[in-house]
Amino acid sequence: MMRNEASNTSSSGGGESVVVDVGKLQSTCGYCKSGLPSSISHGLRSHSLTIADYQELLDRGWRRAGCFLYKPEMESTCCPAYTIRLMVDKFTPSKEQQRVFKRMQRYVDGIWDGKKQEFPDKSEDSQGFAHGDEFSSSSKVGFSGTKEHKSRDDELLICLSEELNLVIQSLVKSGDLPCDLQYPPGSVKFVSPAKKRQIVEGSEDLMFTSNISFQIAAILRKARADDCDAHLTGFSSFGNGTLSDLSPKTIAEKLASALQHLVNSLNFSVKACNGHINYYSSVKETLSDKLNYRVSPSSEFSTQHDSKVRTVIPENPRRNKRKLEIHLKRSSFDPEEFALYKKYQTKVHNDNPDDVRESSYKRFLVDTPLVYIPPTNDNCTVPSCGFGSFHQQYRIDGRLIAVGVIDILPKCLSSKYLFWDPDLAFLSLGKYAALQEINWVIENQRDSSSLQYYYLGYYIHSCPKMSYKAAYHPSELLCPLRYEWVPYIFVKSVLDQTRYAVLSDYANIQSRPLSLTQKQNEFGDEDFTNTCLGQDDTMIDPESGSSNAELRPVEKADLGDILLDKNGTRIRYKKLQRRLRPAVQARLGNQLLTYKEMVGRQLSERMIYSLI
């Protein structure tokens, strides 16, 4: 009788990870359309997997489809699939992504029904949707006949510029600035994301800046040169009246000090930096803020429906005819969701309705091995919904229009799949849902500081339908050999030339970043959401059979600490090895060697390898 050993459990939550090795799998590639069985993966099955272990599997190139886990064999498959992720703190939506949000806003406001363009424009995308964020000088009047409201950023710029003017006037009245000079109007400008990264690392909260100190310094120096001290009476509070005291740096410090009241009134901190006056947001900006949307979460996690609801409200509602809500609920079967999934598969992917069954839907999008971790009062690192597998429902006036299947883990939100109402294809729901999932991570960082990333699944560089994933900038790809994250812009040129590459070899190549908007999705929004958030997961068929690898010498392999389970009895391989016949030992040793290579040493010793 084997001695039963206690297993290690994940340090970040209850439960344990138990996996069954299903070997190497082959399936027909759905990306290059070769029709050949050329997609090769390794597979595991699990009905119990801790969130920490799945996070580590993601970071080694694994994905899940229901309770089936798979990892592409990158060197052998025809279309190598690289794991791709986005660091949400550095993300800034592109113009196209902003258009998606504004398109939804106009639809919710009731000023657009999706049947016609709002403003005809030759530069529209292939589906003819209006840009919505650019208007000519002759188009200042909206559809309701009223003037368009200024954006939130425009209003802030005007307010901050006025405050700066008032401070300059107060310094003149107090005698800190000469009263007989003409000063330029206070001008505050928006700081672009690219400029933030150039200034200093970690300046994500820098919102606005002003260089008026340089203009004032130039005026004062010219006045001194023209008339010595005649115009400089009353300027002593800046210093002793020497030329060095008239530097932009000194003036900026004086102005910034006088603007400190903005901290309480507008939630901005003001700092002088090398002559510039910088305005930093003291409230963390969410993606909804950047896109002029206000997302109002409910105060509690509903236990009755096991869901959390967010109501998306336009910043400046005009004719708010529709109500958009986002419900986050634990993964479970919902007849309404299945009906939408069947409609989506039939109309978007042209599936036979008789082939779309509840059983296959449950296996693919409902079943999950992830052990749920509920929120607790004594653990501030767990978000209010907990960790585990969820369905995020999107409803307009109560009607279900889209469902995102996601996993919420300690470091990330991992998108698995999205299906949506084909009747609302004009809303680009795939792109919209991706932006909302990014926004969810940003919002919940306040409660769970470990949340940093948004995982978009696999990225296949040769597949045009996947080009959208790299458009969430700055994205990173996982090196398939060393499991290091490499910026996409560093390796794009390499992937243009070769099918498979060890990406970490090129991590230090400072490739010139290409504009991610140059490469348009030739298949339109429909195909964007076709692959969006996990269609690639359906390419692997766990029932297609496995091929046994050739036996390799494993005598020197360190497999002893792998924990095995046989009919409920736990034992380390090093204790079982001595009792096995040579042939069985060689076969099992090869399986464990491949398993250890695929999941890594730590996971191979922490998870339980079932022999059933």
Query: Does residue 482 come out as left (phi exceeding 0), alpha (psi in the -120 to 50 range) or beta?
Result: alpha
225 vs 54 pLDDT, higher one: 54
Count CB neighbours of 89 within 10 A.
Answer: 14
Tell me the pLDDT tens digit for each residue of 566-581: 888 999 999 998 888 8
Q: Is 187 helix (H, G, I), strand (E, B) or coil?
A: coil
| Most confident of the ranges 102-106, 145-149, 387-391 | 387-391
Neighbours of 581 (CB within 10 A): 8
Q: How many CB atoms lie within 10 A of CB 8?
A: 13
Query: What confidence score (pLDDT) does residue 339 get?
Result: 97
Strand bridging mode 412-420 / 18-27: unpaired
Confidence of residue 119 (pLDDT cuts 50, 70, 90): very low
pLDDT-based confidence at residue 592 (cuts at 50, 70, 90): very high
The pLDDT score that the predictor gives to residue 178 is: 85
pLDDT band at 197; cut points 50, 70, 90:
low
Question: What is the average per-residue pLDDT within 384-397?
Answer: 96
DSSP E strands, 253-368: 268-273, 276-281, 293-297, 307-314, 324-330
Query: CA geometry: angle at 202 spanning 256 and 150, to 5°?
Result: 60
Output 455 or 558, whichever has higher pLDDT.
Answer: 455
Q: Are strands 608-610 and 563-566 parallel, antiparallel or unpaired?
A: parallel
Q: How does the average pLDDT of the chain come out, rounded? A: 77
What is the distance between the alpha carbons of residues 168 and 333, in angstroms, rounded to a whole number? 63
Q: Look at residue 196 in the predicted model and tell me its pLDDT.
A: 67
Residue 441 near residue 413, CB atoms below 8 Å: yes
- Write out pLDDT tens, residues 418-476: 999 999 999 999 999 999 999 999 999 887 889 999 999 999 998 888 888 999 989 99
What is the average pLDDT across 113-134?
40
Among 355-369, 485-499, 524-538, the range scoring the smallest mean pLDDT is 524-538
Lowest mean pLDDT among 2-11, 136-145, 565-574: 136-145
Quick one: DSSP state of residue 81?
-
Helix, strand, or coil (residue 325) = strand
Q: Which of 91-105, 167-181, 223-237 has the highest mean pLDDT?
A: 91-105
pLDDT at 100: 92
Output the CA angle 227-229-235, nearest 5 degrees. Answer: 130
Separation CA 548–CA 603 (nearest Å):
23
Lowest-confidence pick of 115-129, 221-235, 470-484: 115-129
Per DSSP, 582 falls in state: H
| Contact in structure between 402 and 418 (CB atoms under 8 Å) | yes
pLDDT at 311: 57
Cα angle 598-534-527, degrees, rounded to a multiple of 5? 140
Q: Is residue 539 pLDDT above 80, yes or no?
A: no
Instruction: Identify the three-state secondary structure at position 88.
Output: helix
With contact defined as beta carbons under 8 Å apart, do 370 and 384 qualify?
no
> Bridge partners of 405?
391, 417
Confirm if 319 and 110 have CB atoms less than 8 A apart: yes
Local confidence band at 177 (pLDDT 50, 70, 90 cut-offs): confident
* Mean pLDDT for the stretch of residues 359-363: 96
- Separation between Cα atoms, residue 220 and residue 183, nearest integer Å: 10
| Strands (E) located in 119-195 | 189-190
- Structurally, what CATH architecture does the domain formed by 152-281 represent? 2-Layer Sandwich (3.30)
Provide long-range contacts, Cβ within 8 A and 24+ apart, for 34-40.
34/78, 36/78, 37/544, 38/77, 38/78, 39/72, 39/77, 39/78, 39/79, 39/539, 39/540, 40/72, 40/73, 40/76, 40/77
pLDDT band for 417, please (50, 70, 90 cuts): very high
pLDDT tens track for 46-88: 999 999 999 999 999 999 999 999 999 988 888 899 999 999 9
> In 3D, which of 430, 394, 395 has the Cα closest to residue 415?
430
pLDDT at 138 (0 to 100):
30
User: Three-state SS for 389?
Assistant: strand
- The helix/strand/coil state of 153 is helix
Report the 10 Å Cβ neighbour count for 433.
Answer: 26
Token pair 């209010």 in the structure block, residue:
384
pTM for the whole structure: 0.67
Question: How many angstroms from the chain centroid is the CA of residue 106?
Answer: 24
Residue 539 DSSP one-character state: G
What does the pLDDT read at residue 465? 82
Answer yes or no: is pLDDT of 205 > 70.
Answer: yes
Q: Residue 344, class by beta-carbon neighbours within 10 Å (0-12 exposed, 13-18 middle, 19+ buried)?
A: buried
- Measured distance CA(329)–CA(419) in Å, rounded: 16
The arithmetic mean of pLDDT across residues 84-96, rounded, is 92
217, 247, 256, 272 from 276: Cα distances, Å? 12, 11, 9, 6
Q: Please check the confidence at residue 288 and state whether its pLDDT lies above 60.
A: yes
Selection from 441, 404, 395, 155 nearest residue 287 by Cα? 441
Tell me: cis bond preceding 185? Omega within 30 of 0 counts. Answer: no
Are residues 54 and 12 in contact, defined by beta-carbon separation less than 8 angstroms?
no
Q: Coil, strand or helix: which one is 309?
A: strand
Which residue in 249, 295, 280, 460 sits closest to 392, CA to CA?
A: 295
Let me know: does 574 contact 557? Beta carbons within 8 Å: no
Task: Find the mean pLDDT for residues 160-164.
Answer: 86
Residue 163 C-alpha from the chain's centroid: 36
Q: Kindly state the helix (H) or strand (E) to which residue 339 belongs, with its residue range.
A: helix 335-347
Question: How far, CA to CA in Å, does 418 sit from each of 57, 149, 371, 474?
Answer: 22, 34, 22, 22
CA dist., res. 499 & res. 497, Å (int) = 7
When mean pLDDT is compared over 204-208, 219-223, 570-574, the highest value belongs to 570-574
- In tens, the pLDDT along 33-54 reads 665 556 778 999 999 999 999 9
How many angstroms separate the CA atoms of 441 and 449, rounded?
Answer: 10
- Give the pLDDT confidence score for residue 513 in this predicted structure: 41
Virtual CA dihedral for 378, 380, 383, 389, nearest 10 degrees?
Answer: -60
Report the candidate in 411, 442, 417 with the shortest Cα–Cα distance to residue 430: 417
Q: HEC string of 207-218? A: EEEECHHHHHHH
Better-predicted residue by pLDDT, 512 or 570: 570
